[in-house]
Chain A
Amino acid sequence: QKEVEQNSGPLSVPEGAIASLNCTYSDRGSQSFFWYRQYSGKSPELIMSIYSNGDKEDGRFTAQLNKASQYVSLLIRDSQPSDSATYLCAVITGSGTYKYIFGTGTRLKVLA
């Protein structure tokens, strides 16, 4: 079992819809969770971080964390074609460590 798992997609949604991206992780002691966006040929850029159970909203983005179920999700409201990219989930496993473990990413396509 991979430490961080994501559906590779592609996930296709129409413009204006909500895109829902999911990620599960195996280390129950994980404390820090991140979503990165990566456009083709570009480096990952941080969208959001989340540390506590529940929802965290930032503009059109909402991160959701459920430590009991070991999943973290990202919702993108009012999806735009410019949101088309690969979304990487990253987890810092355990406490006091520094190693980001990345999933393979989910490719999102927003259809105009």
Chain B
Amino acid sequence: GAGVSQSPRYKVAKRGQDVALRCDPISGHVSLFWYQQALGQGPEFLTYFQNEAQLDKSGLPSDRFFAERPEGSVSTLKIQRTQQEDSAVYLCASSLAWGQGALENTIYFGEGSWLTVV
């Protein structure tokens, strides 16, 4: 597709339920990022993939959060035993690669997955 695609767009989960959020990056983009955005805040970094390798997961808030990108394209962010504080928009972004050039560095966001935990 032309842009970053995320699904589901909206998810209501009961506390304790597991959820899986999917991201389909722009075709050919090597780098993939997950961000979490709470209401009224800027996006907060969660994790970064270069192809299938997860190079940085320092932003994942707890071991209930897990991300994968097994074939270097589609990525899934999984949240186990959801809690109310997990309610946020989860943004996926991708970039062509990662280098010194403006083109490679520019990240493009998907529309986000809005998670509400009740």
The chain A residues found within 8 Å of chain B, CB to CB, are 4, 8, 32, 34, 42-46, 49, 51, 88, 90, 92, 98-105
Nearest CB in chain A to that of B44: its residue? A102
Q: Is the CB of B42 within 8 A of A49?
A: no
Within B87-112, the residues touching A (CB, 8 Å) are: 91, 98, 102, 105-112
Looking at the assembled complex, report how far the CB atom of B77 sits from the nearest CB atom of chain A, in whole angstroms: 15
Q: Is the CB of B109 within 8 A of A44?
A: yes
Chain B contacts for A90, CB-based, 8 A? 42
Interface size of B by CB at 8 A reads: 22
Main secondary structure of the interface of A (DSSP, over half): strand
Nearest CB in chain B to that of A102: its residue? B42
B43 contacts the other chain (Cβ, under 8 Å)? yes
Chain A contacts for B91, CB-based, 8 A? 43-44
Nearest CB in chain B to that of A8: its residue? B40
Nearest CB in chain A to that of B103: its residue? A49
Which of these, A49, A103, A104, contacts B106 with CB under 8 Å? A49
Q: Is the CB of A98 within 8 A of B98?
A: yes
The chain B residues found within 8 Å of chain A, CB to CB, are 31, 33, 35, 40-45, 48, 56, 91, 98, 102, 105-112
Given contacts A4-B42, A43-B110, A98-B98, 17 further A-B contacts (CB under 8 A): A8-B40, A32-B105, A43-B91, A43-B109, A43-B111, A44-B91, A46-B108, A49-B102, A88-B43, A98-B48, A98-B56, A99-B45, A99-B56, A102-B35, A103-B42, A104-B40, A104-B41
Which of these, B33, B98, B105, contacts A49 with CB under 8 Å? B105
A100–B42 Cα gap in the complex (Å)?
Answer: 11
A41–B91 Cα gap in the complex (Å)?
Answer: 12
